[in-house]
Structure 1
Amino acid sequence: MNQRKNYALPIVMMILLFGMISFVTNLAAPMGVVVKSQFQASNFLGMLGNFANFLAYAFMGIPAGKLLEKIGYKKTALIGIVVGFVGVGIQYMSGIAESFLVYLLGAFIAGFSMCILNVVVNPMLNTLGGGGKKGNQLLQVGATFNSLMGTSVPLLVGMLVGEVTKNTAIKDVNAVMFTALGIFAMVGIVLSFVNIPEPHMNTGEEEKEKSQYSAWSFRHFVLGAIGIGVYVGVEVGVPGTLNFFLADANAGGLDAATAGTVAATYWLLMLVGRFVGASIGAYVSSKTMLITASAVGMLLAFMAIVSPITSTVSIPVFQSSASGLSFGMANVPINAMYLVLIGLCTSVMWGGIFNLAVEGLGKFTASASGIFMTMVVGGGILPLIQNAVADSVGYMMSYWVPFLGLAYLLYYSLIGSKNVNTDIPVE
């Protein structure tokens, strides 16, 4: 009881950082609208900031894990905070310099920070919670705050820009930049004064003796790393393709604004799901949670595929208007309802996959976390495949791609997550 109380402050700081990961990452998309206006850029150029942010994961995932092994959670987190402060600061300076290239540089550097912090936050919350169900619960709490902060970004940017869609500039959203800088500074200062357990940091003696094993030596970890890539691809591909489907005059037949609000409701349900996951995480194992989420997700995807798009239903959607935030009703193909509900399933998957994959890894946990971050690139690969299928055989048929992804996650939760390499020394 006392040990958990002593870790309350670092737990809060880690949850704040979990939220900042989503806040800074999701800032790239609405910022695309701003930079398009300021620099008269194309849609492609407007999304380069988002691309630069995620590209950093491919470069920094494994090195960040190595860094965590060598200097521990606390120092690695502080480095990530400093890098994030610099990245957001450069994006702020790009508004003063009125330079698109400076903005891209800031987004890329911020991406390095997000990758480093992801590598730190996931295993640290699990460690501070003592692993098992309590560790899973803390991961779900962090994921909930992550989702809340991510949802807030487009709303904040929208309120700052207002109804003006032309002649907007980066300086118009400086308040969002200052918010990120302030939280980074606060967490960095507090974290520098608190004690953090370092169960997986290598000592000098350990470094002299090279192990013949690594995280890759564990079958359940390898399958879990693949699972993370698959999960991110499903999470991104389901609402992304849904938006295209609904806005297509020959398919969903909705106007672009309504299509966007329906797809956005998917992310709102992810927030709801993470609240539920956080509340039951101490009582339900990661395995049970992942089995249930992937099985229900498969069922919903299947129903979306086989249901006729001519059947419609009214669903409540999350809306943002000039008068503020509200819920409204939208008449959509029943397929859309099934797909939006998948958000409840994907909401709890990250923590479940992570906990199952690192179970029993011991000293290899830190490097495993870095590998996980590299696999985030699956969020770009699977949606690309899905939309290639959609171009060929139609939107609903393309959902066999996330259906198969969910089937893989079900296999992993049932069979693939078992540690069959218990003979490997991990201390």
Structure 2
Amino acid sequence: MPSVVSSGGQPTENAQQTGGSYGPALTLLASLFFMWGFITVINNTLLPHLRSVFDLNYTQTTLIESVWFIAYFFASIPSAKLIERVGYKKSLVIGLLIMAAGAVGMMAAASIPSYGVTLVMLFVIASGITLLQVAANPYVAVVGKPETASSRLNLVQAMNSAGTMLAPAFGAYLILGRSKSGTSMAGTVLTDAERLADAHSVILPYGLVAAVLVILAFIIARFPLPAMGSNSAAAREKRSHLINPELFKHRNLVFGIPAIFIYLIAEIGVANLFINFVSRPDIGNMTHEHAGNYLTFLWGGMMVGRFAGSAIMQRFDAAKVLAVFSIGAFVVAMMATLTHGPVAMWSLILIGLFHSIMFPTIFTLGIKGLGPLTEEGSGLLIMAIAGGALVIVQGWIADTYGLQTSFLLTAACELYVLFYALWGSKPTHVEPDPVAVETD
């Protein structure tokens, strides 16, 4: 899942004095990236489960994920204000405890069961993740030597990918594998008693998640993380200012913001509807539990693509690589829409491979040449992650015209990314590059 790091200041003396002790701190921070990737992707197995439990249409199902990404939009500014008031370390603890409270709330929602309470609790969890991202990212830049910051950021992102890969297996086993709807073939009609029993299958996995989050919060509260210095505080103050109109003179940023927004619609739509699509009789003809295991290949492809894309971009222009990957994504999206059986299933899986480089590459191209405006531009690109909330549009298309037809929206999103790669990403009014790091 997307996360961005922008180093607003140099590491403080306190941070640098940790010397060789930064390894344990980095490991602890990497665990946070793992957890929010893990919890975010649990939704991919939770959605088909809730669709069966509450007898939802696709619009109602994708509304669940929309609520999740709306939290990115509404919680980001309050998170920044909270960090300014209580500091980064306490914010990390608060973020984890908010997530744990949401997980406990999910247990309560499953006990009732209630669709409305489920939506509220998922918003709470996502708000905690938003605070965690805003608070954790700067630490990755300051813990350890400045010259190795890039390798540290790649490491924690690998942990994020590990979380997204393991979550489908966790959800398939503990949610789908323990429910009647998850172990039955598509089209099976459940009785009210079976729906209630299925709803209760969410209690155990979210209880485990809540316990892990509380333990992490306790460890971080007791761990001597390095302090942030005045340079970072000044950077936070700068980011709190109103949007600078000079930003809109940069074409690569102006078209990059909708590129991130639109790309998130494609990524989240594919992941959320994957299990329902693959389990269809004319596609994979399998149970939701079995389809959940194939979801691992989708996220695994994204991890492999990140490593491969990083190596490819050592030799080729990033915009050209983005163009090639967007064409590949468009082709396999159309194949998933127009074919059936294993060809359609593996075409949808391959979208993960082609999506892999899109967020970090669009982000890099979007801030290119912004100079002293880089941090403000980065903030706008981060806010664009809320585009994932519009996955509900694909849910409406699936209800109105059919699930397979809804992936035409995915294909259309890839075409905008192609436009951005070929023309929209060309920088204008180039300024000297600042000291900044970004990653996905």
Q: Same fold (TM over 0.5)?
A: yes
Amino acid at match of 1:405: Y
Kindly indicate whether the alpha-carbon contact (under 8 Å) linking 1:94 and 1:103 is maintained by their aligned counterparts in 2. yes
Equivalent position of 1:201 in the other structure: 232
In 2, Cα distance between equivalents of 1:198 and 1:77:
14
Supply the AA of the counterpart residue of 1:233.
I
Q: Which residue of 2 aligns with 1:323?
A: none
Structure 2 residue aligned with 1:172: 201
* Cα distance between partner residues in 1 of 2:96 and 2:21: 22
1:146 aligns with 2:163: yes
User: So what's the TM-score if we normalise by structure 1?
Assistant: 0.70
Look up the SS of the partner of 1:332 in the other structure. helix
Whether the 8 Å contact between 2:305 and 2:354 is mirrored in structure 1 is no
- Whole-angstrom distance in 1 between the partners of 2:140 and 2:325: 27
| Higher relative contact order (CA closer than 8 Å, sequence separation 6+) | 2
Distance 1:32 1:98 in 2: 15
Quickly say closer, same or farther: Cα 1:42–1:198, change in 2 above 3 A: same
Q: Which residue of 2 aligns with 1:302?
A: 331
**Structure 1 residue 206: deviation in Å?**
5.6
Partner SS state of residue 201, structure 1: helix
1:227-306 to structure 2, matched below 5 A, reads 227-238=259-270, 253-254=282-283, 257=286, 265=294, 268-275=297-304, 277=306, 291-302=320-331, 305=334
- 8 Å CA contact 1:59, 1:374 repeated in 2: no
Shift of 1:54: 2.9
RMSD of the alignment, in Å?
Answer: 4.9
- 1:57 equivalent in structure 2: 72
* Deviation (angstroms), 1:112: 0.9
Structure 2 residue runs of 5 or longer lacking an equivalent are 1-15, 185-189
Equivalent-residue separation in structure 2 for 1:75 and 1:419 (angstroms): 40
Letter in 2 for 1:13: L
Supply the AA of the counterpart residue of 1:141.
Answer: A
In 2, distance between residues paired with 1:406 and 1:385? 18
Whole-Å Cα distance in 1 between the matches of residues 208 and 21 of structure 2? 28
Do the aligned partners of 2:299 and 2:352 also contact (CA within 8 Å) in 1? yes
Partner residue, 1:403: 414
**The residue matched to 1:198 in structure 2 has which SS?**
coil
Distance in 2 between the 1:218 and 1:285 partners? 29
How far the C-alpha of 1:216 sits from its partner, in A, is 4.9
Aligned 8 A contact 1:123 1:369 in 2: no
Kept in 1: contact 2:37–2:163 (CA 8 A): yes
Counterpart CA distance in 2 for 1:16 and 1:286 is: 32
- State the partner residue of 2:176: 158
- What residue identity is the alignment partner of 2:171? P
**By how many angstroms is 1:336 displaced?**
5.1
1:17 pairs with 2:32: yes
Q: Deviations over 1:365-385 (max 9, x none)?
A: 776665445322322437736
> Which deviations, in whole Å up to 9, do the C-alpha atoms of 1:198-257 show, x marking residues without a partner?
3663259968x96884995683555443332222122134466777877788xxx33653
**Which residue number corresponds to residue 13 of structure 2?**
none
1:378 — aligned with what? Answer: 387
Distance 1:300 1:204 in 2: 37
* Cα gap change, 1:57 to 1:16, in 2 (>3 Å): same
Unaligned runs of 5+ in 1: 313-330
CA–CA distance in structure 2, aligned partners of residues 105 and 263 of structure 1:
25
Query: 1:228, 1:372 within 8 Å by CA — same for their partners in 2?
Result: yes
Give yes or no for contact 1:140–1:351 (8 Å, CA) kept in 2.
no
Alignment partners' CA distance in 2, 1:142 and 1:398:
30
Q: Does 1:80 align with 2:95?
A: yes
| Change in CA separation of 1:54 and 1:242 when aligned onto 2, cut-off 3 Å | closer
Q: Which amino acid aligns with 1:341?
A: L
Aligned residues of 1:91 and 1:103 also touching (Cα < 8 A): yes
C-alpha change, 1:268 and 1:215, in structure 2 (3 Å) is: farther
Residues 212 and 368 of structure 1: is their aligned pair in 2 closer, same or farther, counting only changes over 3 Å?
closer
Structure 2 residue aligned with 1:187: 216
Seen in structure 2, the aligned counterparts of structure 1 residues 241 and 84 have a Cα distance that, compared at 3 Å, is closer
Overall identity of the aligned pairs, in %: 19
Q: Is the 8 A contact 2:256 2:425 kept in 1?
A: no
Supply the distance in 1 between the matched residues of 2:389 and 2:295 (Cα, whole angstroms): 18
Distance 1:145 1:33 in 2: 22
Which residue number in structure 2 is paired with residue 225 of structure 1? 257
Q: For residues 108 and 133 of structure 1, do their structure 2 counterparts lie closer, same or farther at Cα, with a shift above 3 Å needed?
A: closer
Q: Give CA deviations for 1:375-425 in whole Å, capped at 9, x if unaligned.
A: 223224377369759949966765540331331452489634x88244999
Give the superposition deviation at 1:339. 4.2
Q: Using a 3 Å threshold, how does the CA distance of structure 1 residues 378 and 73 change in structure 2: closer, same or farther?
A: same
> Following TM superposition, by how much is the alpha carbon of 1:59 offset from its aligned partner in structure 2, in angstroms?
1.4
Give the Cα separation in 2 of the matches to 1:364 and 1:21: 29
Bigger shift: 231-240 or 44-53?
44-53
Partner AA of 2:321 in structure 1: T
Query: Is the deviation greater in 55-64 or in 260-269?
Result: 260-269
Paired residues of 1:236 and 1:383 also in contact (CA < 8 A): no
